[in-house]
Structure 1
């Protein structure tokens, strides 16, 4: 699990890092003092959990959370707030889909419980399987959407890049448009990044912001980000 922490208090930051390392197996935590640094890192890497202090040095953690939620792949990613401000809590729950709070001053047990709840939530979501069926002239293809890395429009066909046996294979599908595929996947974590590409947000390994490129896990071919979709993907104006 990749965790991104934004906390400007050195003592609290070290406590949280230690708690994560002690309580979540196979976790990787990165921390920053400022909201801006945190946002930049989130855009370049795939994060599974955000832990955000509400009061940061450059601007509020709630504003940072809004910027994070504007990035499609983080629309439902769990966020835990670190706060001493009770008034911020209700707003965050309503507007930012905050998963949990850790209220200052906090105990080790409170940190542990918040982290374990999020870990169980992520594992539960990951275990749910959703399939789509695509009928062709001679075959019916059935896909676990979690195994689809990305979808490409190629001439009059759709190319579905799907993970099978630790490699990515390509199925050629006739009679479907990219718009039609997006409709099939409307409740899933897919986003259009280019006029010819849909990508599975959960399969993004990193985003090269300077070159407008997305990289997918287990795939060496870069996927372009079209100018029309830059704001949607990067949360920029």
Structure 2
């Protein structure tokens, strides 16, 4: 049985969403909290499959709770749905925190069910075995979860692979004997995106595109990645968060 964590401080909204969830999913347990701090403690002790967070909570904001959850390795890719009454704020949260989707109150049962079921399906897909990039270097074999790769830089005959680690840190490995084109052929289609003759990026980590200066900004990465003129059309179409 999977676990859904609902963080909502309005009893009426809790009752409504509980009814919607119970009518659509018999395979999930629902845990409800009114305060973000209590919900975070519960998430630390239990494996949650889907978060539904109100942006305005009693103690602190749901967006801050989402950031705390995203800093935990086990919840970096867990679907998060936001509910809010504030027009515009849900879009900011969506882009900054990479929630799965949002619901603006008041929403209908049909709207809830459509978004809720899609999030469950996405969560189930994310639970599948991670895709691995394997690179041989002399007598060593390096393995990288593709979802953790931030970007790959080509410099002369060397490649630098930048990956996101638990706790928000970044690790860089140097490899030789591979080209960017070869790496693109080694990963499933569309997992990595070439944005420059010397750079590949992981589109799932893009949170901002500076079109004027042709720069990409990635979650958990202090370095802005350049966009080459040859690649900008593909990047703007594919990478826009």
TM-score (norm 1): 0.56
Cα deviation digits, residues 9-40 of structure 1 (max 9, x gap)? 01111111121111123011100010110111
The change in CA–CA distance for 1:87 and 1:188 in structure 2 (over 3 A counts) is: closer
Structure 1: which 5+ runs fail to align? Answer: 136-174, 194-237
Match of 1:57 in 2: 58
Q: Counterparts in 2 of 1:8-23, with a 5 A limit?
A: 8-23=9-24
How many Å apart are 1:123 and its aligned residue?
2.9
Are 1:184 and 2:143 an aligned pair? yes
Match of 1:25 in 2: 26
C-alpha distance in 1 between matches for 2:63 and 2:135:
41
How many Å apart are 1:131 and its aligned residue?
5.9
Match of 2:85 in 1: 84
Cα deviation digits, residues 143-185 of structure 1 (max 9, x gap)? xxxxxxxxxxxxxxxxxxxxxxxxxxxxxxxx87xxx7xx514
Match of 1:5 in 2: 6
RMSD: 2.7
C-alpha distance in 2 between matches for 1:75 and 1:129:
13
SS in 2 for 1:56: coil
Cα deviation digits, residues 19-74 of structure 1 (max 9, x gap)? 11111230111000101101110111111100000110111111111111111111
User: Higher relative contact order at CA 8 Å, sep ≥6: structure 1 or structure 2?
Assistant: 1
Structure 2: which 5+ runs fail to align? Answer: 149-163, 168-241
The change in CA–CA distance for 1:98 and 1:133 in structure 2 (over 3 A counts) is: closer
Q: Could you tell me whether the CA contact under 8 Å between 2:71 and 2:166 is conserved in 1?
A: no
Number of matched pairs? 149
The change in CA–CA distance for 1:125 and 1:192 in structure 2 (over 3 A counts) is: closer
Q: Could you tell me whether the CA contact under 8 Å between 2:53 and 2:62 is conserved in 1?
A: yes
C-alpha distance in 1 between matches for 2:92 and 2:130:
32
TM-score (norm 2): 0.55
Comparing 71-80 with 118-127, greater Cα deviation is found at: 118-127
C-alpha distance in 2 between matches for 1:102 and 1:134:
42
SS in 1 for 2:146: coil
Match of 2:103 in 1: 102
C-alpha distance in 2 between matches for 1:67 and 1:192:
12
Q: Counterparts in 2 of 1:146-157, with a 5 A limit?
A: none
C-alpha distance in 2 between matches for 1:83 and 1:17:
17
The change in CA–CA distance for 1:74 and 1:91 in structure 2 (over 3 A counts) is: same
